[in-house]
Amino acid sequence: MPIYNKPFETMPRKELGALQLKRLQATIERIYASVPFYRTSFTKAGITPQDIKSLADLQRLPFTTKLDLRDNYPYDMFAVPMEDVVRIHASSGTTGKPTVVGYTQNDINTWAELMARSFSAAGATRFDILHNAFGYGLFTGGVGAHYGAEKLGMAVIPVSGGNTKRQITIMQDFKPTILCGTPSYILHLSEVAEEMGVDFKDLHFKAGIFGAEPWTENMRTEIESKLHLKAIDIYGLSEVMGPGVSIECHEEQKGLHVFEDHFMVEIIDPETLEVLPPGETGELVFTSLTKEAFPVIRYRTKDITSLNPAPCSCGRTHIRMNKPSGRSDDMLIIRGVNVFPSQIESVLMETREISPHYQLVVDRKNNLDTLTVKVEIDEKSFSDDIKSLQAMETRISNNIKEHHGVSARVMLVEPKTIERSQGKAVRVIDNRKF
Ligand SMILES: [Zn+2]
């Protein structure tokens, strides 16, 4: 399969390191001069741009957090004057103000290139048609995928999220071959298709690029078997760029290649902030190397994963990050036990009789945390036999306890009673007051 930008994507590691250092030094020099936040934080750490002499010196730089971005709302982190900014996006803040990010024309061109590389890594070519069900708007998913697909030469159907029945009709009539969206919305799409009597086998998809929320290997198996396509994981966040920071190759589907000519990646221990060696699990941290309008230095993503430096059969030399297992701020602590929603999802997906739609409800009763796992029963296994349903609830609850050490009450609910997402799924409802 062709690699979109072979010289950069297969660059020997030594050469790549030299390129990274040159780009890192230029970035540090630029933001030291143009962003008061960075100049102040570097000065506090006793660092000037001249101190960055090797890639190891990156570790001397202070971290940047979402809170820093919020404190500089909306434009104070921008490193160029407003007349050079051609696009603004904002991340959906669940609490407080959103995070605002900007792009110059060069930034947009880079982003389009990295998304074109991503589509190519998923096996797409200019002969493909993209059904883009990522939301268009302030969210970076829709527009980000759109520009990259056009750059690769694909025909883009900018359908966005929602209006699901119409999407199925478009799939039948326009014959798209590549699908984009959040995994939870894609599952909803497949459910609506089933209701309409449409089998994905009769549609024309060969691959799908899914992301913007963590999803498990079991969810991948489910999507691949229901939609009859190869499901590829994509990663990105607006603070770092948007989708296309890293992507799985369709050859291996095992870890996402980080586009290291544009981003440096580290894994840190979120408690001690120490950089961890490859293979160890911790928080993912990114530094941008080419961004003009909104450079980020050691940005703490809160996403939990590990890095895999092993060579890949696809020929790309860029390091792979494993599929994020969750976000450190999504982590639930139930009576002192740490558990990620994705870990519960894994157990649920191993149970044949239930559907992949679930919600975790956390409450505090008499000062004790309780976790209720609401999960829909499969249409086919739905019965009025209360006894067998109760037995199934107990079995799933035991499995969760056995695998992850957390006590959960499992509640089977009727098919299609958990609200479907049009974008990112709401997996956790935490009613505890802190
Ligand atoms: Zn690969």
Mean pLDDT of 1-6: 92
Task: At 199, give phi and psi (nearest 5°).
Answer: -100, 130
CA–centroid distance, 248 to ligand 1, in Å, is: 7
**Dist CA 16 CA 11 (whole Å):** 6
CA–centroid distance, 316 to ligand 1, in Å, is: 6
Mean pLDDT of 31-36: 98
CA–centroid distance, 255 to ligand 1, in Å, is: 8
Q: What pLDDT shows up at residue 35?
A: 98
Q: Which residue type does 378 have?
A: D
Task: Pick the closest to residue 397 from 426, 389, 425 (CA basis).
Answer: 389
Cis status of the peptide bond prior to 74, with omega within 30 of 0: yes
Mean pLDDT of 18-28: 98
Count the neighbouring beta carbons within 10 Å of the beta carbon of residue 165: 13
What's the pLDDT tens digit per position in 229-277?
A: 999 999 999 999 999 999 999 999 999 999 999 999 999 998 899 999 9
Residue for token digits 């936040």? 37
CA–centroid distance, 251 to ligand 1, in Å, is: 6
310 has pLDDT over 90: yes
Task: Pick the closest to residue 256 from 238, 277, 234, 226 (CA basis).
Answer: 234
DSSP for 136-151, please give it: PSSSHHHHHHHHHHHH
Q: What pLDDT shows up at residue 98?
A: 82
CA–centroid distance, 380 to ligand 1, in Å, is: 38
Share of the chain above pLDDT 90, in %: 75
**Dist CA 96 CA 107 (whole Å):** 27
**Which residues, in sequence order, are CB contacts of 388 under 8 Å at separation 6+?**
none
**Dist CA 224 CA 206 (whole Å):** 10
**Dist CA 276 CA 177 (whole Å):** 40
Task: Please check whether residue 118 is in contact with residue 244, taking contact to mean a CB–CB distance below 8 angstroms.
Answer: yes
- The first and second tokens of residue 15, run together, are 């050469």
The predicted model scores a pTM of 0.87
**Dist CA 138 CA 89 (whole Å):** 5
Task: Pick the closest to residue 302 from 22, 34, 75, 64 (CA basis).
Answer: 64
Order of strands across the sheet that contains 207-210: 155-157, 129-132, 178-181, 207-210, 230-237, 242-248, 256-258, 320-321, 307-308
96 has pLDDT over 70: no
Q: Which residue type does 106 have?
A: N
CA–centroid distance, 121 to ligand 1, in Å, is: 8
CA–centroid distance, 368 to ligand 1, in Å, is: 46
CA–centroid distance, 252 to ligand 1, in Å, is: 6
Count the neighbouring beta carbons within 10 Å of the beta carbon of residue 380: 10
What's the pLDDT tens digit per position in 158-205?
A: 999 989 999 999 999 999 999 999 998 999 899 999 999 999 999 999
Residues at Cβ < 5 Å from ligand 1 ion: 249, 252, 312, 314, 316
Q: Is residue 379 very low, low, confident or very high in pLDDT (cuts 50, 70, 90)?
A: confident
Please provide the average confidence, as pLDDT, over all residues in the chain.
93
**Dist CA 179 CA 165 (whole Å):** 16
What's the pLDDT tens digit per position in 144-169?
A: 999 999 999 999 999 999 899 999 99
Residue for token digits 């902030």? 273
Q: Report which DSSP code applies to 335.
A: T
**Dist CA 415 CA 396 (whole Å):** 17
Task: Pick the closest to residue 243 from 165, 377, 170, 145 (CA basis).
Answer: 145
Q: What pLDDT shows up at residue 326?
A: 78
Per the model's pLDDT, the better-predicted residue between 416 and 32 turns out to be 32
Q: Which residue type does 408 have?
A: A
Helix (H, G, I), strand (E, B) or coil at 211: coil
Q: Is residue 54 very low, low, confident or very high in pLDDT (cuts 50, 70, 90)?
A: very high
β-pairing, 207-210 with 230-237? parallel
CA–centroid distance, 265 to ligand 1, in Å, is: 17
**Dist CA 56 CA 125 (whole Å):** 38
**Dist CA 315 CA 297 (whole Å):** 29
CA–centroid distance, 247 to ligand 1, in Å, is: 9
Measured in whole angstroms, the distance separating CA 96 from the mean position of its chain's CA atoms is 21
